[in-house]
Structure 1
Amino acid sequence: MEHTAYKAQPSRLLSIDLLRGLIIILMALDHTRNYWGVTPFSPTDLEFSNWAWFFTRWITHFCAPLFVFLTGLSAFLYAQKVQDPKQLRYFLFTRGVWLIILEIALITPSWQVSYNSIVLQVIWVIGCSMVLLSLIVNMSAKWILMLTLPFLILHNALNDTAMLESFGSLSWLWHILHVQGSISFADMGINAYVAYPLIPWFSIMALGYVVGHVYTWQSYKRITYLTNLGLGMIISFIILRATGVYGDPSAFASQYNPITSVLSFLNTHKYPPSLQYAMMTLGPGLILLAQLEKLNTKQKLYRYVSWLKVFGAVPLFFYVIHVPIINGFAHLYTWQKFGKPINMFFAGGDLPASYQPSLWLTYTVWLLLLLALYYPCKYYASLKRQSNSAILSYL
């Protein structure tokens, strides 16, 4: 990646905000579905689901890997901005710790309207990954890639059952590192569920940091590189998925009709993110990032997508406020409709007898949520731009 360096151009940063905004609104769709369109089956369970439920869930698979990747990329851009390794390490470490605290202290109860247990999700793993990234940012891009990429490529070869047994009383550590599951420290009264294990997600963030180096290149070279890298990932995904040689615990199987066969092909493993899942999501995301950079603010097409940057400029602010809003109004809705407030996300199989999942309701609430949060996000983005407050930079 040795190219002539150029100063940041607005179109570069605009493309990142636009993609991040798209990620945010898709994420909101998934979280709306969790409360307003919960189903007694997994939307990706081909035995019970249909294409509409499947794609409503599947399209949101792009959110976490692309957001984590862009966090790493943004960390490199911040490094270019401050030109001070010590300041970069301090920012990554402190922001990472802040995100971990935020996940545990604020975001977890906002999902539950209680504090039954800690749920370690995407904000937690981003925080942990930023802390780890702060320890290696002094390395060259080549060494960071050599250190972290093998974990993303090879982690599907790990035998989680054997690893949990070998860790013994420290099995909780393997849950944090690689496999979803519950951990408990009874003597301290702590119960937690690790939804996002660290190893593969940190690898994706580190990859984003390394790819960030192309943002010192001329625009046309960067667009070509991102496009080719994305195409390479998509082709690799198709080959691995079609052959089934490696990269996902759930092999593709031809189904009873073409549509279901396509769904099976796309039905990759997210928890933890398999190699096939990562390539399936990051590949198209990189191509879209490259194409968004081509947009000129005077183009007609830009006017149709410019609103995305409002959400993309303040992703953490959006995340923190949108979950309690979705959850709170869902409680009010179930209270009115079923006679008692219900946390539908955690209801499991204990759904009201008269309940029927509705995609129409899910999409309607999702659109209303975006409309309701557009101006608060726009105001907060403006406030951040006009303020030099260090506190605002952390939200």
Structure 2
Amino acid sequence: MNTIDEALGAVVAAGDLAGAVGLVWRGGAAQVAAVGWRDMEAGLPMHRDSLFRIASMSKPIVSAAAMTMLQERRFALEDPISRVAPEFLAMRVLRDPDGPLDDTTPADRQITFEDLLTHRAGLTQAGFHSGPIDAAHREALGPDLDSPLSPDAWISGLASLPLVGQPGASFTYGRSTDLLGLLLARMEGATLEEVLRHRVFEPLGMSDTGFSVPPDKRHRRAGLYGFDMTGKLKKIDAPPGGVALPERPGDMEFASGGAGLWSTADDYLAFARMFVDPSVKLLSPETLALMTTNRLTDPQRLGAEMFGMPTFGTGSGFGLGVSVVLDPATAQVMRGKGGVGTVGWPGAYGGWWQADPTNGSVAILLMHNMLELEQLTAGYGLGGYGAIMEFHALATA
């Protein structure tokens, strides 16, 4: 048994996780640990090819698809998105992000594609603000992952809401990548899944990644696990907060490029290798360098927050769809902590990864650690974050 197995096994044994898959790739070889259970109640063990909801780990994939279109000159970073979505031609901005919806001012300028790729569009999402904008998002857009709206209706609904910040002014995490994905699909005249399959999945050999799991692969899904209010692991039917259905309908048109994908450790490795392995040719060296160069100003980096906590601190910035390490000594593990230029972006359901070009390594940890906010506040589910810290320490040793 290797030390990664032991470390993850201890977290499972403590009742803090049902199971996890950890993968470390370096020098062309992968070390994999599949620990615990994909279904505790049925006694089904976790396997290397187990499928997980990867939540916001979807964002770098959609951003990479956008970069393939950028290098084809289908759009420029400075282009206003109203060129593709005229719904966003004349946006308004809340004077106070938590204030009344009718207390707005005109946007100083239009939202650009770069704004979407860097989360500087002024877009938010349900759950991120305490004011009326929160309920307005839920009413206009429906559930985050499985919205019943058509893509066009969803785009129109988002455009009808005021922004929480001026375009380009600050890093504001929200629906930017969801919108980006639907704009790529509109530009291609296809569904977002078709766009990703053509531009990313098939070129990289990612045969297990998509917005739903086909019936013949469902036995490989890792069960969704959260906690009850006593802190005991609990299997759940769907992600917390009503953001998704237990089973995505086959005729559902909307797809969340921001958080909706399922994947495996090996599929995500095929994607992440792009950042460290020159033999992976999805993006040109120039486009890859553009994607992995910090675009945020120092005030934007240092002022970025999520749920009252610093997003980057002093050690990291953000490129076009990925976090980027600027100072290895002060970079946070959750955003990726390696040599200068290390990229990553975690997922809310426990998934984490980084790719470090300074030593050619990739580290990926997939699990389902699905928490209600009040449970996290009560201290439940912290073992999953501890597992990421331990895995990172062992993976980078």
What TM-score, normalized to structure 1?
0.24
Give the structure with the higher percent helix: 1
Give the structure with the higher percent strand: 2
What TM-score, normalized to structure 2?
0.24
